[in-house]
A and B are shown apart, each in its own frame.
Chain A
Amino acid sequence: MKPSIAEEELMSPGHLACQGCSATISMRYALKGLGRETAVVLPACCWTVLAGPAPRSALGVPVLHTAFASAAAAACGVKAGLLARGDSRTQVMAWAGDGGTFDIGLQALSGAADRDEDILYVCYDNEAYMNTGIQRSGGTPQGAWTMTTPGQGGSRRPKKDLDAIVLAHHIPYFATATPAYAEDMVRKFQKARSIKGFRFIHVLSPCPPGWKSEPADSIKLSRLAVQTGLFRLYEVEGGRSRLNVPVAKRKPVGEYLRLQGRFRAMTPQEEARLQRRVDEAWSA
């Protein structure tokens, strides 16, 4: 049988991710879509660690590690440097977590998007500051337990609508992706590569230690996020939005919540409220 996605592996084994980490599956797919002529910019995030300590690297492409707030700005600088050296082919990908995107890196991201810089910005969203021990971020969903939102009720605030913030910049390409839909994800990176200007991909990335889920369930959770309607797979090109994976019959959100210990303290009323919110969002 022929594999459904590119065979070449630019991410090597021996990386330092936890068992069942989907941030690594996501990086694997991203590089399959982008290919060898890619440079990666990593701000502080799980991938800072996963990529391995010097002198080793888990990525078969150049990596620049940079400060938390500066992923987008550093990527613009790398791109400008490449152009100054006459290299217009190498893609520059800023690869940041939700902390570095929803919160700490938001200003640099907004600036780069506003200037329509020729970079690809990827947020792998595991919905909290996982690398530093599971603190709440703007990407944490309502009701989720984190170290900084302990006890009954979990995180009180709803997840920040990052997609709307990014789309408000009128960028040439925006997409969402999650590793259960591998072919869709690889295609989106291939497509992003072919487009000039500021491109953004929002990846939902299940995290076993942070979500208090079984490592074996990461792909299942990624799939359930889509099938329950909590995470929509779509892309926006030239202002036109297209749903990539239609969900004919949505599964109850409980199927997704119950595989994750971080939602254990959610009451049936809170779950019903979340279900109502999802139903409303899809009927809108």
Chain B
Amino acid sequence: MPELEAPAPSDPRVIVSGRSTAENLTGNWRTLRPSIDAARCTGCLICWKYCPEACVALTEKVPVIDYSYCKGCGICVEECPTRCIGFAPEEAA
């Protein structure tokens, strides 16, 4: 259930969402954990580009996956051209 602790909008007839869903930490949906092998990553940013969660951060070279949000869909694992993203069960990670 959503908590409705947001301040009441000035016009009570309008429901206004002023906060971001970034408060929902969807990382706990994950059963498989992607992890980038920095040694083999070429920094092509394809994993960043295709992530449905927008949770791969751009950095100087090797992108960084934000595990608070990553749902473990495996798209980055599948699309990485050097196949340098491992995908292991959460408990083993």
Contacts and interface: CB of A to CB of B under 8 A. Distances in A.
Interface of A: 1, 3-5, 7, 9, 11-17, 19-22, 24-25, 28, 51-58, 60, 63, 179, 182, 214-220
A12 B73 contact: no
A15 B20 CA distance: 9
B28 to A, nearest CB: 12
B17 interface: yes
Given A3-B48, A5-B49, A215-B74, A13 B17 contact: no
B74 A55 contact: no
Contact of B17 (A19, A56, A217): A56
B23 to A, nearest CB: 6
Interface residues of B, number: 40
Contacts of B45: 1, 3-4
Given A13-B22, A52-B17, A215-B73, A220 B52 contact: no
7 contacts: A4-B45, A14-B26, A15-B26, A21-B52, A56-B23, A216-B74, A216-B78
B24 A56 contact: yes
Contacts of A182: 49-50
B88 interface: no
B2 A216 contact: no
Contacts of A58: 20-21
A199 B20 CA distance: 29
A217 to B, nearest CB: 7
Interface string B1-38: 01011100000000111111111111001000000000
Q: Is the interface of B mostly helix, strand, loop or mixed?
A: loop
Contacts, number: 118
A19 B71 CA distance: 6
Chain A interface, DSSP helix/strand/loop, else mixed:
loop
Given A14-B69, A19-B71, A25-B50, A220 B78 contact: yes
A186 B73 CA distance: 23
A4 to B, nearest CB: 7
B66 interface: yes
A57 B19 contact: yes
B53 A54 contact: no
From A16, A53, A63, A217, residue with most partner B Cβ within 10 Å: A53
Given A3-B45, A217-B78, A14 B22 contact: yes
Contacts of A216: 73-75, 77-78
Contacts of A24: 52-53
List of 3 A-B pairs having minimum Cβ-Cβ separation, nearest first: A216-B74, A55-B6, A14-B24
Contacts of A5: 49
Contacts of A22: 52
Given A4-B45, A56-B24, A20 B73 contact: yes
A58 B22 CA distance: 7
